[in-house]
Amino acid sequence: MHVKRNESSNTWEGFVYVCDYTGKRKLKHKRGFKTKREAVAWAEQIQLQEASNLDMKFSAFWDLYRDDMKARLRENTIRTKDYIVELKILPYFGEKKICDIKAADIRKWQNRLIKENYSQTYLKTIHNQLSAIFNYAVKYYDLPKNPCTQAGSMGKGKAEEMNFWTQEEFETFVELVKDKPVSYMAFKILYWTGCRLGELLALTLGDFSPDEKTLRINKSYQRIKGRDVITEPKTEKSKRIITLPDFLVEEMNDYVGKLYGMMAKDRLFTVTKSFLEHEMIRGVELSGVKKIRLHDLRHSHASLLISKLGAQPNLVAERLGHEKIQTTLNTYSHLYPNQSRDLADQLNDLNSGTDDEQEGDDCDAGET
């Protein structure tokens, strides 16, 4: 490693040789340091990264973690990590050596965030991002233990109260956005299929089969830095075929019939999340129904399946594309108590029926 002064810009530059995955040496070069000390500190952190030495600063380890995850996660997921880590984690832990961060440090950081009055789910999300980085250090860089585990979590994994619309609320709302066919049809699909917004916006003409009465979900759409990005769906189980009720097939046929010149690979909904959010606000204001988020239409569908139809968790999980049934149970556990009561009542009815049959048998025996 070495550093040198750039006379023309009056700044310092650092140079470090590292090995890539093939063993070939490559030069890392960074310019723009205000002082020699800053340039030396950067070069030293690069050397610690290269040696997998946990004396490196947390910020340097975050760079290692991010580079590895970037090849394995969706671009939108990496952007979410960037946002949370850079705003909520690096300002506190960035300059600390990763090997020196203790459970007490985690607790102090948690308490600071708790005082900011963030939602319980957001606090949980922030904590999970930090814990994931330490888990990575434990698994691949021999950090003895994850201090987040010892410190305990913060926040809650799901909101105390989930917002959703009843069928009556949805029908009231959707009638008042009928003047814009793209909005009307998008909301109908979100409510009656439970698909994710990204899955809806990625749908193509070829994904809709009026004969089979199905929608094929095998991709997701994001708008990233002004670009339309089509990726794999959230998980492998997210790839699924959703069966459609007859009335929705008829409305889809009407909608598609007005999209002249459509090819099989053309998107059915060439709008953005922002557009649909504004349309939702418009419909709420016109209809007077309570305000919910776009994603809550997915919860509304799940509520419809469970509360109105008594759908079992495995069927709900399959329709929503959950990776595990436990996800369905954890997310919608509050909707299942009535189902458990109904099941108990049915068992009671079975037992009562058995008692009646037994009494009848006894009478017959006495008469004989």
Q: Express each pLDDT in 160-171 by its tens digit.
A: 567 889 999 999
Residue 50: per-residue pLDDT: 60
Closest alpha carbon to 274 in 223, 230, 229: 223
Residue 177: per-residue pLDDT: 96
Residue 279: per-residue pLDDT: 97
pLDDT at 204 over 90: yes
Residue 101: per-residue pLDDT: 94
In sign, the C-alpha dihedral spanning 268, 271, 274, 278 is negative
For 26, 175, 178, 280, the CA distances from 284, given in Å and listed in that order, are 58, 11, 13, 6
Please state the pTM of the whole predicted model.
0.65
Cβ count near 28 (within 10 Å): 15
Query: Regarding predicted confidence, which is higher, 351 or 98?
Result: 98
Look up tokens 């004396």; give the residue.
55
Give the fold, CATH level 3, of 167-333.
hpI Integrase; Chain A (1.10.443)
Residue 295: per-residue pLDDT: 92
Residue 99: per-residue pLDDT: 87
Strand order in 2-6's β-sheet? 2-6, 11-19, 25-33
- Per-residue pLDDT reduced to its tens digit, 227-286: 888 988 878 889 999 999 999 999 999 999 999 888 999 999 999 999 999 999 999 999
Cα separation of 211 and 193, whole Å?
Answer: 17
Residue 103: per-residue pLDDT: 95
**CA triple 183-188-193, angle to 5 deg:** 135
The pair of three-digit structure tokens given for residue 131, joined into one six-digit string: 């814990």
Closest alpha carbon to 299 in 125, 174, 118, 166: 166
Query: Regarding predicted confidence, which is higher, 18 or 112?
Result: 112
Residue 368: per-residue pLDDT: 31
Looking at domain 59-158, its CATH class is mainly alpha
Residue 88: per-residue pLDDT: 94
Q: Contact at 8 Å (CB) between 70 and 24?
A: no
Rounded percentage of the chain residues whose pLDDT exceeds 70: 83
- Bridge partners, residue 208, by sequence: 215
Burial zone of 226 (CB within 10 Å; 0-12 exposed, 13-18 middle, 19+ buried): exposed
The pair of three-digit structure tokens given for residue 65, joined into one six-digit string: 């973690």
**What are the two backbone dihedrals, phi and then psi, of residue 133, each rounded to the nearest 5 degrees?**
-65, -45
Go through 114-144 and write b for each residue having 16 or more CB atoms within 10 A of its CB, e for each that does not. eeeebeeeebbbbbbbbbbbbbbbeeebebe
Residue 170: per-residue pLDDT: 96
- Per-residue pLDDT reduced to its tens digit, 23-81: 567 777 788 888 888 877 767 666 665 655 678 889 989 988 998 898 888 888 888 89
